[in-house]
Structure 1
Amino acid sequence: MQGVISGFTVIFIVVALGYILGRTGVLGEQASSVLSRVVFFVCTPALLIHALATSDLSAVFSSTLAIASATALIIGAVYALLAKFWLGRAVPEMVIGALSSSYVNSVNLGLPIAIFVLDDASFIAPLLLFQIVFYSPVALAALDITALPADRRTSTLKTALVPLRNPILIGGVVGLVISVVGWVPPKPIMEPLNMLGQASVPLALLVFGLTLTGVRVFKKGESPRRDIVLAAVMKMAAMPLLAYAISRWGFGLTGHHLFAQVVIAALPTAQNVLVYATRYQRGEVLARDSALVTTLLSIPVIAVAAVTLA
């Protein structure tokens, strides 16, 4: 438990520093955008290459992959059904809401929590694999078909190839290939990757703190409050409980591994969902507010998981 408290303290301090930098404007108006691109295109791919190249493949193709996949798909499907038959939402808003309730922030918060709280970054690799290779393409295809007019829709092949342009996926694939072939890259190659990879977590936390400045949620007349509440409840209550049930009784996990699965499920909604919503101009406020609300709720939820399971 002491390690969990220490890990969260480290995370909160760096996030708070990012928030202060955002409030004071020391880094300029484009700081969040520039730093997030550095994390996305450089540091996180380097971290994945180094981590996967030096890890056991069983950590990637493990129970974590099955649990994360099943949990996200079930929660997303339940949200979609409720949004359709209870809230009466159109398909694009259903898709954005389903992602808001089940698509995990695996980079900005997932990696720091895996490193400082779970003490093992390999827990995040299977989640990244599922979300980038399968979940994102399926959601993008659904939005492409339902949210765009026929003349603006991309081809099926182009949609299927979208993940292949993701630098995080490329970094993961490179790391997996190195691990599979059993080749150990020379130190002059691995050391720069390690240096850049180590910068990923603090920069991601700074970016997260920067994004918290100036955001208002539940704005009257603008925010779809029922949708946000539903997404938050599904994400921060139903998803961790479902992950616990599948892990405990489906896979027989106990101890630290059980705790890790619940923590992964309790991570907040990813910023990617807002990117998708903005791209298709549907459900943008829902995606934005869900990300912020679930981020704030994730702190007490993970703390409860730590007290009861860690």
Structure 2
Amino acid sequence: MSGVVSGFTVIFIVVGAGYLLGRTRVLGDSAHEVLSRLVFFVCTPALLFHALVTSELSVIFSKTLVIAGGSAFTIGIVYVITARLWLHRSVPELAIGGLASSYVNSVNLGLPIAIFVLDDASFIAPLLLFQILIYSPIALITLDVTVTDPVLGRASRAAAMRDAVIAPLTNPIVLGGVAGLIVSALGLQPPAAILEPVDMLGNASVPCALLAFGLSLTGAAVFKKGESPRRDIALACVLKIVAMPLLAYAIARWGFGETGHELFAQVVIAALPTAQNVLVYATRYRRAQIMARDTTLLTTLGSVPSIAVIALLLA
């Protein structure tokens, strides 16, 4: 439990610092958007490249990849179908909502918990790979194709098909992940003169994303009536904090026969809150930003008792 408390304490302190920076306007009025773009275009691609280059592929391509990735993708699809039929949301809002309900905070909270609670950081690597190389590209391509310039209007079908091909080739996050995987698969070891600056930039991803999240809370009333899409947020939170851990338990326990510490680890990973990356994506494409912000905050708060209950039952 001390590892859980430690991990969440780090999160809250840095988010709080971002909130204070926003309240005092030390960084100016555009700080949130600038930091979000820095994370999207520079820091996260560097983080992913370095993480994959320095990882063993045998650890990444394991049954954890199927359990964590399968439960996340399934919950995301459940959100998309439910929100489409019940709430009648547009495709960009569905894409952000699907991520908000299932995209795990695998770095800034997942790694501390994996190290201090699970005593094995390798449990996080497969999920990180799935989210970077499969889940994010699907959502980002969807957003690239469906979000158009309001001045130009909706893209034509031909333009949409063209964008579907070009999007993964130009998205910096996808490029960083793919490049890291290729280098790792080829067994290449970049020189320290290259890896060290990449590592430095990557290390800035987590604190910058948390600061951007804190900045976004300035002057905002979470779950505010008339402003926040309450039904969307409630749906995403229930799926993320309750349904996803239960699904991961079912897949790990009855699909792969896992018990003991391995089963505990799979369920804890699934119970991690929504990643700040979702807010970064929402800000980048200017869609469902309030929904992403509120879901990230509420699932971060809700994951504390959720993981505590899981620890009591399975640890």
State the TM-score, normalized to the length of structure 1. Answer: 0.79
Return the letter of the residue paired with 2:62.
Answer: S
1:263 matched to 2:268? The reply is: yes
Measured after TM superposition, the shift of residue 248 of structure 1 is 2.5
Query: Residues 108 and 188 (structure 1 numbering): CA distance in 2 closer, same or farther, change over 3 Å?
Result: same
Could you say which residue in structure 2 is the equivalent of 1:89?
88
Residue 137 of structure 1 and its aligned partner are, at CA, apart by 4.7
* Identity across matched positions, percent: 67
Mapping of residues 18-167 of structure 1, within 5 Å: 18-85=18-85, 87=86, 89-90=88-89, 92=91, 94-106=94-106, 109-110=109-110, 122-139=122-139, 151-152=155-156, 154-167=159-172
- Secondary structure, counterpart of 1:74 in structure 2: helix
Deviations 1:78-126, CA, capped at 9 Å, x for gaps = 33443355x2525535555434322334456555655666566554443
| Alpha-carbon distance between aligned partners in 2 of 1:206 and 1:118, rounded to the nearest angstrom | 27
Q: Tell me, yes or no, if the aligned pair for 1:112 and 1:201 is still in contact at 8 Å.
A: no
1:173-223 Cα deviation digits (max 9, x unpaired):
222222222222223223323333333333333333333322223333343
Q: Work out the CA distance in 2 between the residues paired with 1:84 and 1:188.
A: 49
The 8 Å contact of residues 100 and 295 in structure 2, kept in 1 or not, is answered as yes
Work out the CA distance in 2 between the residues paired with 1:35 and 1:195: 16
Moved more, 293-302 or 119-128: 119-128
Counterpart contact for 2:106–2:127, Cα < 8 Å:
yes
- The total of aligned residue pairs comes to 309
- For 1:187 and 1:18, the matched residues in 2 are separated by 32
Q: Does the CA contact (< 8 Å) of 1:118 and 1:260 recur in 2?
A: yes
Aligned residue for 2:297? 292
SS in 2 for 1:223: coil
Residue 205, structure 1, aligned to residue 210, structure 2 = yes
CA contact (8 A) 2:145 2:163 kept: no
Deviation at 1:244, TM superposition (A): 1.9
Residues 1:134 and 1:309: Cα distance change in structure 2 (over 3 Å) = same
User: Partner amino acid for 1:27?
Assistant: L
- Rounded to whole Å, the distance in 1 between the matches of 2:297 and 2:172 is 25
Unpaired stretches in structure 1, ≥5 consecutive residues: none
SS at structure 2 position matched to 1:65: helix
Relative to structure 1, the CA distance from residue 50 to residue 79 in structure 2 (aligned partners, 3 Å threshold; closer, same or farther) is closer
* Residues 29 and 282 of structure 1: CA distance in aligned 2, closer, same or farther (over 3 Å): closer
1:56–1:29 Cα change, 3 Å: same
From 169, 173, 176, the counterpart of 1:168 = 173
- The CA distance in 2 between the partners of 1:279 and 1:47, in whole Å, is 18
Q: Calculate the aligned-residue CA RMSD, in Å.
A: 3.5
Offset, 1:260: 3.5
After superposition, the Cα gap between the structure-2 partners of 1:125 and 1:31, relative to the gap in structure 1 and judged at 3 Å, is farther
* CA distance 1:3–1:82, change in 2 (3 Å): closer
Please tell me the residue identity of whatever aligns with 2:79. Answer: Y
Q: Residue 228 of structure 1 aligns to a residue in which SS?
A: helix
**Is the CA contact (8 Å cut-off) linking 1:104 and 1:267 kept in structure 2?**
yes
Q: 2: CA distance between counterparts of 1:8 and 1:229?
A: 22
Is residue 2:233 matched to residue 1:232? no
- 1:15-60 CA-to-partner distances (Å, cap 9, x unmatched) read 3333333323233333333333333333333333333222211222
Q: Secondary structure at the match of 2:65?
A: helix
Residue aligning to 2:8? 8
